[in-house]
Structure 1
């Protein structure tokens, strides 16, 4: 197990572990499973949310809402245009993920669209018009074999 981040203790890790498995689990149920007061859980969750360690959201499966094409896009950008390129991607509705990376490419993004035609239009009408992009490597996912969001292990026993 990785070292604990300052301010996150074993109780916080247990709470996070339960919530990652079921974000709708009640504070009362978590408290009963861990063996602490419900108020303790409520206060800890509030603190974890305030520090940014925890966000409680509804996770949408893009394919279940018609976004059947998912593409990872590697982008090489001009050095002085890197932030501009990243900001342009962040503003595009089709883009769900943007990060700066090391290696031959500088930006990694993920795009979700409904069809190959829509992906082609996105590339031609939006991506290729961003100033500062030198080259791209577009990788279309064929089949998702694993997509997990549970980063915590072994704390809810």
Structure 2
């Protein structure tokens, strides 16, 4: 078993700064945090390797040709939630897959080009996953908040963007 990952204030401040601007250079982060660039580079790599940090570009799917965003609640056969989650995570349409409690065992966010694509993905591929008992879909009509700036407590980024964070 791997030892628990210990994060300190500098790690948290690196994460907070990258959540504001994922393209911020190691040198700029280092200058903002008052540490050497080599430390920022090492710590960022360590956070990525531990699965704590992932730096990606986020596109608005509705603005690039995708017409259907939906949350899908999934009920599964007892004991299969993890394998269902693993299978869902392999689908290119899923952007978010969680094992949860409550009415559904698993929730997945999917992004599809149109209704026929959604139907194929839901009835063809998700329904075929071993362990899936039933699904309930919730189409996203409007997104009022999409935020990725969380997870580091009350730590403020090294430099706040104009207008605050």
Q: TM-score range by the shorter chain?
A: 0.7 to 0.9
1:52 — aligned with what? Answer: 51
1:154 — aligned with what? Answer: 156
- The gaps in structure 1 that reach 5 residues or longer are none
2:163 — aligned with what? Answer: none
| CA displacement 1:126-148 (0-9 Å, x = unmatched) | 23333432222110000000000
- How far did 1:116 drift? 2.2
Q: How does 1:74-113 map to 2 (within 5 A)?
A: 74-113=73-112
The number of equivalent residue pairs is 153
Q: 1:136 to 1:20 in 2, by over 3 A?
A: same
Tell me, yes or no, if structure 1 residue 24 matches structure 2 residue 23. yes
Report the Cα distance in structure 1 between the residues aligned to 2:134 and 2:36, rounded to whole angstroms: 55
Segment of structure 1 superposing worse, 126-135 or 137-146: 126-135
| CA displacement 1:88-141 (0-9 Å, x = unmatched) | 323322222221111121111111101123222322322333343222211000
1:36 alignment partner, SS class = coil
- The gaps in structure 2 that reach 5 residues or longer are 160-165
- How far did 1:35 drift? 1.8
TM-score, normalized by length of structure 1?
0.83
Report the Cα distance in structure 2 between the residues aligned to 1:87 and 1:111, rounded to whole angstroms: 15
> What is the alpha-carbon root mean square deviation over aligned residues?
2.2
Report the Cα distance in structure 1 between the residues aligned to 2:82 and 2:44, rounded to whole angstroms: 34
- How far did 1:32 drift? 1.5
Relative to its length, the structure with more helix (as a share) is 1
- How far did 1:84 drift? 4.3
